[in-house]
Amino acid sequence: MPDHLPILQITALPELRNWRQQRRQQQKKVALVPTMGNLHSGHLKLVRKAQQHADAVIVSIYVNPMQFGANEDLDSYPRTLAADMQALAELGVDAVFTPSTGTIYPRGLNAQTYVEVPQLSDMLCGEKRPGHFRGVATIVCKLFNMVQPDIAVFGKKDYQQLRVIRTMVEDLSLAVEVIGVDTEREASGLAKSSRNGYLSDQQKQAAAAIYQQLQTAAGQLQNGAGITQVEQEALGRIAAAGLEPEYFSIRRQADLSPAQAEDAADSLVILAAASLGTTRLIDNLEVDRA
């Protein structure tokens, strides 16, 4: 076990500022891994990546109400702070920031200044979840301002989220390097997610159809199949597996605009969302040149 257990837990902004100033005086590069807790191996993969790129790693754990819709699972979202802290301590994380909503939104959600990335926030998941990416961009911008990291690490499973954050960083001239990490998967191919805990074992097997269709579609694109045909066939096969597909869309990696026939295969990403029972699942696959 690392010799600096127990882990440092920071809850207040002045304490966080002091911690950051000490790292600055020590000339240590700081990486931030923002999370909503209920950590699984995918989150821990992000932490290990952060440790490869920085001298000190801080993980934030905060379930952000601004990114949840009126009928979404804010109240039931799994909160497992004790287990999360133990897992992070075993990895040797330097600090964990666990702010209260009063610290994050001292004037309340309705009075909060917000950050919104246009266009990217309104398509795909943004169309289904209006206001979601406003909440994501706002909390990430606030965390960047609070922690002032040199590096921030995010998973590619939320590909649209990663693109929104990269665009925000560029547009607002933020001095943070954003690193994306490949999705961690179950043996079946199902993308690891905190919401997988809502699924039965049988449902998890059915949910693996999403990744299977992403792989099939990537192969079809590399073999010259038409974009619309690939999308429609995948939607049908996901529905046949017992899921309720929301979208299956082939997009350009750079801006998530719809792919065109003349686009190079290695500039595309296939994104999918589907529901199984009350659980909404998302996944994606970047397409590599054959």
| Sole residue written with tokens 């009075």 | 111
For 50, 53, 147, 175, 241, the CA distances from 94, given in Å and listed in that order, are 11, 14, 13, 21, 44
SS (H, E, C) 193-255: CHHHHHCCHHHHHHHCHHHHHHHHHHHHHHCCCCHHHHHHHHHHHHHHCCCEEEEEEEEECCC
43 is annotated as contributing to ligand binding? yes
53 is annotated as contributing to ligand binding? no
132 is annotated as contributing to ligand binding? no
69 is annotated as contributing to ligand binding? no
194 is annotated as contributing to ligand binding? yes
257 is annotated as contributing to ligand binding? no
> 54 - beta bridge partners?
none
42 is annotated as contributing to ligand binding? yes
| Sole residue written with tokens 């076990």 | 1
36 is annotated as contributing to ligand binding? yes
Both tokens of 279, joined, read: 């659980």
Which positions are catalytic?
43
Task: State residue 237 phi and psi, 5-degree precision.
Answer: -70, -35
45 is annotated as contributing to ligand binding? no
| Residues placed in the known binding site for (R)-pantoate | 67, 161
| Residues placed in the known binding site for ATP | 36-43, 155-158, 192-195
